[in-house]
Chains A and B, each alone.
Chain A
Amino acid sequence: MKYDIHFTLNHEEISMTVAPNRTLLEVLREDLDLTGAKEGCGAGECGACTVLVNKKPINACLMLAVEADGKDILTIEGLSQGTELDALQLSFIDNGALQCGYCTPGMIMSGKALLMEKPAPTEEEVIEAINGNLCRCTGYKKIVEAILAAALKEDKS
């Protein structure tokens, strides 16, 4: 059996039909070609699949696609305005906060959720916000710095 769902994806209304046994992550990547969110562990431990649902970060691997019905979903692809990157994406580049890039979309979405709620977070709050996101190469220091720098920049502008 398949189910009709309607939701907002990256600021656009979407209607589609999904099988109940597919995760939101699978449908984003395989049906909608949004491959920014990654599958790392598939168990809610690595955060590589982080997307925002109604402005809150969640693991897309732990949500069924059918549950997206009526929700507002934002993925890394929805952050930029056309070819103009979001301030947080630019900050990751400026601060060298990525190497292989696998964790980056998830890190940025967790950071984005924090900045949307707390525009001027403390370092502790940043560390807390990304503790569900694992990075195996850059290390966390530059990632934390990138999020803090983006907050500072936003604050000044």
Chain B
Amino acid sequence: MKTFEYFKPNTIEEVSLKLLEYGDSKILNGGTDLIVALNEGRSCPSIVVDIKGIEKLKEISYCEDNGLTVGACTTLNDMMNNRYVIGNYKILAEAAHTVGSCQVRNRATMVGNITNASPLADTATPLLILDAFVKIFGPGGEREISIHDFFISVRKTCLKAGEVVVGIRIPAYKEILGLYQKHARRDAVDLATVCASIAKIDGDIRIALGSVAPTPIRCRRTEEYLRDKDLTEIVIEEAANLALDEASPIDDVRASRVHRQDIIKVLVKRGLKELVI
């Protein structure tokens, strides 16, 4: 591992200033991706800014007006065991639970998971169907953007120079029925070959897929097709075909494109069947 300067400030303003000062800085949160990259020489920053000294980034809160707010430094284990997450956003807890191992989840965070902008990030698809917001602090102050505008491409987000994600906000919903599915080569400690969040949220079916395109995607056309329809066998089959059309999977080390196409259909059908009353 090449050497770097280590900086652990107590305020978010200092983080932003340091990011602006050094063009090649890296933010250290849970470190479960960054430290592997540092070790392998894929990342050689001149400064590493540890944001875990900022107490308010560890907070997780819920109220009916604003919904759930998860601070950037909330670990995945703390998040998935939080009573509001278990009670109101079970699909998010399910997705968080599939990340790495217990050891990894004691360090890794949801904000780290999504700011990496991996197409297969486990917590991305639930956030997409929950219409979450990304809270960002930067030189212009704090702003909130839709998760739908956050991912730009593989490992690329819309974050600008000096900006840092401080948390995620998920609106409050009356009812979320559905599940997170992850198809991987082994049950534990693996990356998704394809993952899917499919749920009926306050009456509307929403579908998001991961590891099927350069970013995690919402399947809007499939959702539109399903609006006000009964989930018959034929409708579910057609929806699976539509979702397949919306995806553009590739061949990689985990699976071939053709295999992914098969899995997409299976996960969409299985997810929708769960919603049949």
> Which residue numbers of A lie inside 8 Å of B, CB to CB?
1, 3, 19-23, 42-45, 47, 50, 53, 56-59, 61-64, 66-67, 110, 113, 128-129, 131-133
Q: How many inter-chain residue pairs (CB < 8 Å) link A and B?
A: 86
**What B residues does A56 contact at CB under 8 A?**
77, 106
Whether A1 contacts B5 in the complex (CB less than 8 A), given A23-B35, A58-B106, A64-B31, comes out as yes
CB pair B3 A57 closer than 8 Å: no
Determine the distance from Cα of A1 to Cα of B47 in the docked complex, in whole angstroms: 11
Interface residues of B in 218-267 (CB under 8 A from A): none
> Does chain A have a CB within 8 A of B36?
yes
CB pair A110 B103 closer than 8 Å: yes
Output the nearest chain A residue to B75 by Cβ-Cβ distance. Answer: A56
Whether A57 contacts B28 in the complex (CB less than 8 A), given A1-B5, A44-B36, comes out as no
> Does chain A have a CB within 8 A of B32?
yes
Looking at chain A's contact residues, the main secondary structure is mixed
Which listed residue (B2, B52, B101) contacts A44, Cβ 8 A?
A: B101
**What B residues does A44 contact at CB under 8 A?**
32, 36, 100-101, 103-104
CB pair A19 B35 closer than 8 Å: no
Question: Measured between C-beta atoms, what is the minimum distance from A43 to chain B in Å?
Answer: 5
Question: Measured between C-beta atoms, what is the minimum distance from A96 to chain B in Å?
Answer: 24
Cross-chain pairs A/B with CB under 8 angstroms, 12 sampled? A20-B48, A43-B39, A45-B189, A47-B101, A53-B106, A59-B32, A61-B39, A67-B28, A110-B103, A131-B101, A132-B103, A132-B188
**What A residues does B2 contact at CB under 8 A?**
21
**What B residues does A53 contact at CB under 8 A?**
106
Interface core residue of A23, A44, A57 (most chain B CB under 10 Å): A44
CB pair B38 A21 closer than 8 Å: yes
Whether A58 contacts B103 in the complex (CB less than 8 A), given A20-B3, A21-B4, A63-B31, comes out as yes
Determine the distance from Cα of A15 to Cα of B103 in the docked complex, in whole angstroms: 25
Determine the distance from Cα of A44 to Cα of B34 in the docked complex, in whole angstroms: 12
Question: Measured between C-beta atoms, what is the minimum distance from A109 to chain B in Å?
Answer: 9
Determine the distance from Cα of A61 to Cα of B4 in the docked complex, in whole angstroms: 17
Not counting A128-B102, A132-B103, a sample of 11 additional A-B residue pairs whose C-beta atoms are within 8 angstroms of each other reads A19-B3, A43-B39, A47-B101, A57-B102, A57-B103, A59-B104, A62-B31, A63-B31, A63-B35, A64-B28, A67-B50
Question: Measured between C-beta atoms, what is the minimum distance from B256 to chain A in Å?
Answer: 23
Determine the distance from Cα of A6 to Cα of B31 in the docked complex, in whole angstroms: 20
**What B residues does A133 contact at CB under 8 A?**
101
Determine the distance from Cα of A19 to Cα of B50 in the docked complex, in whole angstroms: 15
**What B residues does A47 contact at CB under 8 A?**
101, 103
Counting from the closest, the 6 A-B pairs by CB-CB distance are A132-B101, A131-B188, A20-B6, A21-B1, A21-B3, A56-B106
> Does chain A have a CB within 8 A of B58?
no
CB pair B4 A62 closer than 8 Å: no
CB pair B104 A62 closer than 8 Å: yes
CB pair B107 A63 closer than 8 Å: yes
Question: Measured between C-beta atoms, what is the minimum distance from A40 to chain B in Å?
Answer: 12
Whether A50 contacts B103 in the complex (CB less than 8 A), given A42-B36, A43-B36, comes out as yes
Question: Measured between C-beta atoms, what is the minimum distance from A52 to chain B in Å?
Answer: 9
Q: Mark B1-44, 1 if CB is under 8 A from A, else 0.
A: 11111100000000000000000000010011001101100000
**What B residues does A110 contact at CB under 8 A?**
102-103
